[in-house]
Amino acid sequence: MSAQQDKDLIVITVIGVDRPGIVAGIASVLASSNVNIEDISQTVLRGFFAMIMIADISKATCNLSELRERLEAKAKELGVEVFIQHSDIFRAMHRI
């Protein structure tokens, strides 16, 4: 099995009013849960922050439900919204 097939990927989307610390806050939750950020894209449009991350949860120290709770708690603290989906579900929802 290749390294790519060993990965268990999720899609994390974060949106809200821009402020310092959003990326650091979300990344710290992932790091403390042993989740690896595979890819990240972010932008600020007219004061609104938007970010999408692809993260590998194959070596996470918690399950997806617990990770979702941790990220939602951090998002509330940061004043942003966070959405988490397993990549398989994301792909299935966006097939043409």
- 9-93 under CATH 3.30.70.260, yes or no: yes
Taking residues 85-93, report their average pLDDT.
72
Q: Reply yes or no on whether the pLDDT at 1 is more than 50.
A: no
pLDDT at 19: 96
Residue 40 one-letter amino acid: I
Instruction: Name every residue whose Cβ is closer than 8 Å to that of residue 32 and which is 6 or more positions away in sequence.
Output: none
CA distance 25 to 71: 9
Q: What is the pTM of this model?
A: 0.85
- Count other C-beta atoms under 10 Å from residue 25's C-beta: 17
Q: Does residue 29 contact residue 39 with C-beta atoms inside 8 Å?
A: no
Taking residues 19-37, report their average pLDDT.
98
Domain map (residue ranges) of the chain: 9-93
Digit-coded pLDDT (tens) for 55-70: 999 999 999 999 999 9
pLDDT at 87: 78
